[in-house]
Amino acid sequence: QKEVEQDPGPLSVPEGAIVSLNCTYSNSAFQYFMWYRQYSRKGPELLMYTYSSGNKEDGRFTAQVDKSSKYISLFIRDSQPSDSATYLCAMRPPPGGGADGLTFGKGTHLIIQP
């Protein structure tokens, strides 16, 4: 079992729809959870982060973490064609344990149809 599982898609939805992106993970040591957006041939851009369980909202984006289920989600409201990209979840343990790098999901390719 991979540490982080993410459906690669593609996920195609009409403009204005609510998008739900998800990841599951197996390492209970993960405490910090992030969502990155990556356009083709570009580096990832940090969208959202959450610490431990809970929700966090930023504009049209909402990140949710359910540590009991080892499940994280990113919701995009009022989706726009410019949101079309690959969305990667990433996570890591607390600092100080020597494992400072991020563990990424495979990424979900999202297409917003005009």
Partner 1 sequence: GAVVSQHPSRVICKSGTSVKIECRSLDFQATTMFWYRQFPKKSLMLMATSNEGSKATYEQGVEKDKFLINHASLTLSTLTVTSAHPEDSSFYICSARKASGTSSYEQYFGPGTRLTVT
Binding site for partner 1 (CB under 8 A): 4, 6, 8, 32, 34, 36, 41-46, 49, 51, 88, 90, 92, 94-95, 98, 100-107
Is the Cβ of residue 45 or residue 78 nearer to partner 1 in the bound state?
45
Least separation in angstroms between residue 78's CB and partner 1 is: 26
Q: Which is nearer to partner 1, 15 or 55 (CB)?
A: 55
- Say if CB 1 and CB 64 are below 8 A apart: no
Q: What ranges make up the beta strands (E) of the chain? A: 4-5, 11-14, 19-25, 32-38, 45-51, 54-58, 61-66, 71-76, 85-92, 103-104, 108-113
Minimum distance, C-beta of residue 104 to partner 1, in the bound complex (Å): 4
